[in-house]
Amino acid sequence: GMVLGVLLAQWQAKRTGQNPETYLDFALYAIIISVIGARLYYVAFSWSDYKDNPLSILDIRSGGLAIYGGVIAGALTGIVYCKIKKINFGLLADTSIFGLLLGQIIGRWGNFFNREAFGMYYDGLLSMQLNLKHVDGDYTRSLQSLTARYADKPEALKRIIEIRENTKWIDGAEYISVHPTFLYESVWNLCLLIFLIFYSKHKKFDGELVTIYLIGYGLGRFWIEGLRTDQLFLWGSPLAVSQLLSGALVIIAGAFLLIRRVRLKKS
C-alpha cells in the first residue's frame, strides 16, 4: 500500500507539473515518522495495556497503530520538510494526500486478513462472519482484557458482550457476526480518492484538496468509529478519541474552506 501510494503521489506530481522525485524523497521521511506517530498515538490512549510492560510498545507486529497519529506525524514532517526545501506546503499536502488515501484504502484490508478492527454485532445484508477461534488482535483479548478496559464504559462493554452472546455454530465452529467496518472505510476512502482525482483539475487554491480530505475522511470516520468495539477513549471519559478528532476536523476544515472560498470570490 505504501509503495503504490508513493507511485500515485508521483503520478499526481507529474500530472501537475511538479518534480516526482520530490515525493519519493519526502516519503522516505514521512513513512517512517508516520508509523512512529501512529504507534505513539495508539499507546497514549491505551496506556493500560502497556504500563506493566513498556517494552511491548516496540512490538508493532502485534498490532496497535492509529491512522490519526500517522496523519498528524506526517503533517508535521511535511511542514518541516517544506521549510527546509522551501516548498509550498499546501501543494505538497494536496499531492501527498492521493498517496495517503490509497495507502488507507489498501491498509484497511490488512484489518480483514488480521481479523481485527471490525464493528459491533450485526446480522444484516453486509454482515461478516468470523471464526472466533481465529479472530486476532484486540478481539483475541476481547473476552478478558477489553472487558476490563471498558469496565467503566457500559455502552462499549455492552457491544463486546452482545457480540459474544450472538455467536453462531457453523460446521462445528463458533462464529461471530459483525459490521465489516474495514470495508466501509476502504470503500468510503475509495470514493473520496476518485472525487479528488477528478476535482483536482478544478481546485481553487493550494491546500484545498487536503482540506476536502479532512472534511470527507472526518465525516466517514465519525460514522464508522461509532460502529466499532475497539475504540480508543479520551482518558477518564466515555468519549471516543477518533470521533472527537473527526468532528473537530470537519468543523475546522469546513470553516477554513468556506472562508477561503468567500475571500477568493471577493477578490
> Per residue in 81-97, pLDDT tens?
999 999 999 999 999 99
Name the percent of the chain lying above pLDDT 70. 90
Task: Give the residue-averaged pLDDT of 70-85.
Answer: 95
CA distance 66 to 44: 10
Looking at residue 137, its pLDDT comes to 46
Structural contact between residues 184 and 120, judged by C-beta atoms closer than 8 angstroms: no
Please check whether residue 44 lies inside any domain of the structure: yes
pLDDT at 26 over 70: yes
C-alpha cell at 238: 466515555
pLDDT at 39 over 60: yes
Task: Give the residue-averaged pLDDT of 111-137.
Answer: 75
The range of the structural domain enclosing residue 111 comes to: 2-117+180-266
pLDDT tens sequence across 155-214:
666 777 777 777 788 888 888 888 888 899 999 999 999 999 999 999 999 999 999 999
CA distance 130 to 177: 7
Q: In total, how many domains does the chain have?
A: 1
Q: Give Cα separations from 177 to 124, 128, 240 (angstroms).
A: 9, 6, 23
pLDDT tens sequence across 214-240:
999 999 999 998 888 777 777 766 778
C-alpha cell at 149: 478496559
pLDDT at 242 over 80: yes
Picking from 200, 256, 231, the residue whose alpha carbon sits closest to that of residue 68 is 231
The larger pLDDT score, comparing residue 146 to residue 31, is at 31
Residue appearing with cell numbers 516519503: 27
CA distance 16 to 197: 12
Please check whether residue 213 lies inside any domain of the structure: yes
Please check whether residue 252 lies inside any domain of the structure: yes
| Conformational region of residue 12, where left means phi above 0, alpha means psi within -120 to 50, and beta covers everything else | alpha
152-157 long-range contacts (CB < 8 A, ≥24 apart) are 152/238, 153/233, 153/238, 155/238, 156/229, 156/231, 156/233, 156/238
pLDDT at 133 over 80: no
CA distance 63 to 199: 35
Task: Give the residue-averaged pLDDT of 14-36.
Answer: 93
Picking from 113, 76, 105, 111, the residue whose alpha carbon sits closest to that of residue 8 is 105
Please check whether residue 259 lies inside any domain of the structure: yes
Looking at residue 72, its pLDDT comes to 94
Please check whether residue 229 lies inside any domain of the structure: yes
Looking at residue 147, its pLDDT comes to 58
Task: Give the residue-averaged pLDDT of 65-85.
Answer: 93
pTM of the model as a whole: 0.86
Please check whether residue 150 lies inside any domain of the structure: no
The mean pLDDT value of the chain amounts to 85
CA distance 265 to 267: 5
Please check whether residue 169 lies inside any domain of the structure: no
Please name the residues in contact with 135: beta carbons below 8 A apart, sequence gap of 6 or more: 115, 116, 142, 176
User: In which band, very low, low, confident or very high, does the pLDDT at 51 lie, cut at 50, 70 and 90?
Assistant: confident
Please check whether residue 124 lies inside any domain of the structure: no
Task: Give the residue-averaged pLDDT of 249-263.
Answer: 95
